[in-house]
Structure 1
Amino acid sequence: MFDGIAVHQRLCLGALYLLAAGVALTSETRWPCPQPCRCNTELLEVNCSHGQLSTVPNDLAKEAKLLNVTHNIIKTLVHQQFQTLTQLLEMDLSDNLLAVVEVGTFLGLQSLLTLRLARNQLKIIPVGAFAGLPNLQLLDISSNEILLFLDFTFRDLAALQCIKAADNDLVFISHQAFTGLTSLQELHLDGGNLTAVPTEALSQLSVLRSLHFHQLGLTALPNYSFRHLVHLKELVISHCPWLETLSGNSLFGLNLTSFTIRHCNLSAVPYIPLHHLVYLVYLDLSFNPITYIHGNLLGDLLRLQELHLVGGSLLRIGIGAFRGLTHFKLLNVSRNLLTTLEAGAFQSVDTLKTLGLNNNPLACDCRLLWVVRRRLYLDFGGHSPTCATSVQLQGWNFLDLSEVEQPGLLTCRQPRIINRKPQEVKVDQGHTVVFYCISDGDPLPFVNWLDPQLRPLSPIGRIRALSNGSLEVRYAQPQDSGTYLCVASNAAGNDSLPVSLHVRAFPSSSKNPFHLKGWFAFPSASPGVNGNQKLPFDVKTLVMAATIGFLSFFGSVSVCFIFIFFWSKSKGQIKHTATIAYVPRSAMSSSNRGTGNYMETSRFTMKLI
């Protein structure tokens, strides 16, 4: 009995073994896997990477959906190279030695969604190379040596949504290069050798939403560079070491929500090009030598939530720099040269959620007290700011100070003007005057000068506030007279000092003047008691001018007569008579009525005087 059961079990196991072997054989038959490729029937993947292949294998499984042929030595793709792989969804040919892609190479790949040809040696892509890819959505041709895009290079890729073409050697993009890309939403380009932004080519991309420009070789971004990209929402310009300015209308026509311009050479925030971007949410100006964010110049960016300016040269963020930005949530100004960040720079510090302030030479005083008090509500990105210029707190993480320690350590000293001695200056018109205003305080006070009408004076002009805190009045005029005010201020308060200037007009130098009433009104003349204009004349000066004028006229006339006399002598003997012949009018009338041509002439002689 037990022997029968054992035999039955052996028969069942044998049947199962044969069945398994048959399945395996069928699988191998359906899935040819050429050496040195590895095939995965579950993922429907053929992996031929790192196989030292010089050509793509021909006997690949028709059912494959993923093909990886990276890190080989393939140099050429020929016509209809992949025509049997009708089910393929993704193909990666990156990191080869590809230099030639023939026309019609990808015919038959109707289902392909992703094609990667990055890090090869392509210099030109012939028109028609991408024929047969009606459903392709991603094309990666970055890190090649492509020199130009010809007209209609991508015309067969109507479903394409993203092109990655950065890190190439593009010198020219034809105006019709992007024709046919009716679905393209994201484009990465390298413009290191381009002499201009390919505005006309970009105008073909009617639905483009994201544009990344790398290595632009321009010093200034021209006006209307992206004028036709009405649906563009994200613009990234990066690694452009020569780009110094953005022209006032360079972003005209755009309605961006995100704008990045990193690793460039901007020395100032491009306020004018940005001001119309009222829907901008994200702004990144990192790694530019920007030194100052001025007050009240970003208020047009009503919806701005994030500003990144990492690795710049920021020395100061002015009071009111972010005034009007009611949605402002994130500021990252780490790795700069800031000594402080005052609460007055913000519309409200209550809306701020993230603050990057590390790696700045911060002076820990009362100006940063607001940061300490809001430390529980702020995210510092895991990098707490530390004191650098404060002797007492140098190297400290001032966020760790207790509420008892804060008032005694984070302090400021109110400004004090040292030279309190009155300055009253009286000078003649045309002289240059300098007023001095020396102050101290902690932090170092900022000095402003106000004119007699209490208007701030700028660092430029004839009357200017110097960087050392002094006031200079060059070529003083009577209308400059008045009281000027020096105001020294810091976070703890301010101090002021008035100075006085009186400018005397030029005195009259005439000894015996006489006045003409009611003749001419000169702008420089001052009205008399009766309202008439009085013009002083110097008699000696008047006589001398008349004498000089007469002598000059007499001399000129004499020279002319002498010249005429000698010129006439050089012409020989002078005739004293002249004979003139003429035809009387009556004789001419008679001749017209007759048939002859004879006309009688008359003569008379004149005596020349």
Structure 2
Amino acid sequence: MWFQMMFLTLIILSSSSSVNAIGCPATCKCNDEIFVVECEGSKLDVLPIALNPALQRLDLRNNKIKSVDEAFQFYKDLLYVDLSNNHFVSIQPNSFIYQEKLQELHLNKNKLSAINNKTFHGLKSLTVLNLRENYIEELPANLFLGLQKLEELNLGKNRISKIDKMAFNGLESLRVLYLDDNMLSVVPTEAFAVLGSLAELHIGLNAVSRLPDDAFKGLPTLSVLDLSNAGLANISLNAFRGLNGLRTLNLAGNRLQTVPTQQLSHLQRLEELAIGQNEFEVIKKDVFKGLVNLRKLDITGAKNLVTIKRDAFSENLNIETIILASNKKLEHVEDGALVGLPNLKHLILKGNSFKSFSEGMASWSELRTLEVTDHHIKCDCNLLWLGNLMAMKNMSNVQCSSPAHLRERYLKTLTSADLDCSFADPRQTAILITLLVSSVILLGGLGLFLFRYRQRVREALKDYKWNKRAISRKEHEYQKTFSDDDYIIRAQHHNVKPIPVTEL
């Protein structure tokens, strides 16, 4: 009773319009106009007891608070509470019984080792619960029962090794779940069965060596799946069955020896795929078969990747961004590997082992973004076209590694003379060679035709010559000039009277 009277007295003395009201700790910022209190890094070891009871937002990050005491019961209008990075070891049952309006509760970066189904009792309006970076080891049944409106639950970076199949019972509205950076050895498929509304699942940084068939059964609305650094070495053929709406998949940082082409082919709506930091050596032809809606592909840090084959992405005609970065052994992309992709606009080729780039490797002029920064590039006439393209489109630059006299100079600043080109443009050489080869092929074809049909040609020429001689004889006959005597004789023969010369 005395505690309550003292509290009410302090509230009466405080000014409702003051920015730093009476009762506000000296190291805090209290604003009674918008009902916000910020006490980050204020060295508090208990909850403040004399704050405005109409408080809606309370920030107590980076303090030394060890428990939720009785003072919390006076703040029934709280919507947001941040108690992260304090000294909580446990939370007594019903500690939040009066916070029926609370929507966000952050308890991350504490020392919580155990929670039960009464820990969060009363939080009927809670939509976000952050328990990341604690020491939680197990999730028992019905742990979050009563949190019907919870949409985001962060349990990442704990020590969770066991999840009861009914642990998530009651979380009908859950949309985002973080279970990454724990000690899981298998995917808790049965526990996911009650999460019919889940859209994002982050379960990387665990020790899951294998994905069995239907590993994510019961998650028909899943859109984002993060399995990065999960320890995966084997993915069953139907591991992703049922994930018909999946849009983003992260498989980076695992132990995959080959790209799981068949396993991924079920994901026809997939738009983003990250698959770097695995152990495959080659990106083969049609390796992403079936991913007709893929728009972004990220292959970063694949330490054994050596080459990318022609037509590797031939079925991914909607792809817009390809990232091939920090693949230390990647020095060869076959001509045509990045051609025929009408929507490819962003190409990242940095931190690899390329020494040169072929003009036939990609449709370079169609790109909007091009990053080809590397440390092994040999600047010679073969790259004049690339320098010209970079200068024209103001794209990222390439710094030469060799020859020695061009070392550390930028490609797009070099002229054809700098690159020791025999022609002003290497494309002229290509055009000339093409014309010469075409001429040789044409002449060869004509010679082969004449040889094959030589008899017919000979006969045609003979007929042509005979006809020509006949025509010449007729023309000679018609064109023959008669003498005057012949003309008179011919005229008499036809009864034509000659005209005397004197009459003319």
Q: Judge same fold: TM > 0.5, yes or no.
A: yes
1:220-299 equivalent positions in 2, closer than 5 A: 220-240=210-230, 242-255=231-244, 256-299=246-289
AA in 1 matched with 2:242: G
CA distance 1:385–1:409, change in 2 (3 Å): farther
Q: SS in structure 2 opposite 1:200?
A: helix
Matches within 5 A, 1:339-350: 339-346=331-338, 348-350=340-342
Among 427, 431, 438, the alignment partner of 1:407 is 427
Task: Indicate the structure with greater strand content.
Answer: 1
Q: Give the % identical residues.
A: 28
Q: 1:75 to 1:249 in 2, by over 3 A?
A: same
Work out which of the residue numbers 363, 367, 370 in structure 2 matches 1:377: 367
Q: Which residue of 1 aligns with 2:460?
A: none
2:23 maps to amino acid: P
Residue in structure 2 matched with residue 178 of structure 1 by the alignment: 168
- The one-letter amino acid paired with 1:352 is L
Superposed displacement of residue 81, structure 1:
5.2
Structure with more helix by fraction: 2
3-state secondary structure, aligned to 2:354? coil
Task: Work out which of the residue numbers 331, 342, 347 in structure 1 matches 2:322.
Answer: 331
2: CA distance between counterparts of 1:25 and 1:229? 52
Tell me, what secondary structure is at the counterpart of 2:108?
coil
CA shift in 2, pair 1:67/1:391, >3 Å: closer
Letter in 1 for 2:85: D
**3-state SS in 1 of match to 2:190:** helix
Q: Deviations over 1:344-401 (max 9, x none)?
A: 2246143210001112221325x33555x72463302xx4345726474753765667
> In the alignment, residue 203 of structure 1 is paired with which amino acid?
A
- Counterpart Cα distance in 2 of 1:122 and 1:312: 37
> Secondary structure of the residue that 1:332 maps to in structure 2?
strand
Q: How far apart, CA to CA, are the structure 2 residues paired with 1:400 and 1:289?
A: 38
Please, what TM-score do these two structures have when normalized by structure 1?
0.59
Instruction: Tell me which amino acid in the other structure corresponds to 1:331.
Output: I
Any conservation in 2 of the 1:226–1:250 contact (CA below 8 Å)? yes
8 A Cα contact 1:324 1:347, kept in partner: no
Residue equivalent to 2:34: 43
The alpha-carbon deviation at position 45 of structure 1 amounts to 1.1
User: For residues 180 and 364 of structure 2, what CA distance do their matches in structure 1 show?
Assistant: 43
User: 2:160, 2:183 within 8 Å by CA — same for their partners in 1?
Assistant: yes
Distance 2:314 2:113 in 1: 50
CA offsets per residue over residues 454-486 of structure 1, 9 Å max, x none? xxxxxxxxxxxxxxxxxxxxxxxxxxxxxxxxx
Instruction: Label 1:293 to 1:280 Cα distance change in 2 as closer, same or farther (>3 A).
Output: same
Aligned pair partner of 1:131 in 105, 114, 121 = 121
Q: CA contact under 8 A between 1:342 and 1:368: conserved in structure 2?
A: no
Counterpart for residue 130 of structure 2: 140
- Residue pair 1:81, 1:106 contacting (<8 A) in 2 also: no
Count the aligned residue pairs: 386
Q: Which has the higher Rg, Structure 1 or Structure 2? A: 1
Question: Does residue 65 of the first structure (1) align with residue 61 of the second (2)?
Answer: no
TM-fit CA distance, 1:233: 0.8
Q: Secondary structure in 2 aligned to 1:253?
A: coil
Aligned partners of 1:307 and 1:399: how far apart in 2? 28
- In structure 2, distance between residues paired with 1:376 and 1:346: 11
Match of 2:312 among 306, 309, 321: 321
RMSD over aligned Cα atoms? 2.9
Whether contact under 8 Å (1:171, 1:193) holds in the other structure is yes
Distance in 2, Cα, partners of 1:300 & 1:238: 22
User: How much has 1:188 moved relative to structure 2?
Assistant: 0.6
TM (norm. structure 2) is: 0.70
Q: Is the 8 A contact 1:87 1:109 kept in 2?
A: yes
1:217 is displaced (CA, Å) by 0.8
Task: Extract unaligned runs of 5+ from structure 1.
Answer: 1-21, 414-609
> What amino acid does structure 1 have at the position aligned with 2:72?
F
- 1:150-165 alignment to 2 at 5 Å? 150-165=140-155
When residues 211 and 81 of structure 1 are mapped into structure 2, their CA distance, relative to the original with a 3 A threshold, is farther
1:142-541 paired onto structure 2 within 5 Å? 142-190=132-180, 192-240=182-230, 242-255=231-244, 256-313=246-303, 314-336=305-327, 337-346=329-338, 348-364=340-356, 367-369=358-360, 371=362, 374-375=364-365, 377-380=367-370, 383-386=371-374, 388=376, 390=378, 392=380, 394-395=400-401, 404-407=424-427
Gap regions ≥5 residues in structure 2: 1-11, 384-399, 402-408, 417-423, 434-504
Rounded to whole Å, the distance in 2 between the matches of 1:286 and 1:301 is 17
Secondary structure of residue in 1 paired with 2:179: strand
8 Å CA contact 1:31–1:61 kept in 2: the answer is: no
- Asked whether the equivalents of residues 286 and 310 of structure 1 are also in contact (C-alpha less than 8 Å), the reply is yes
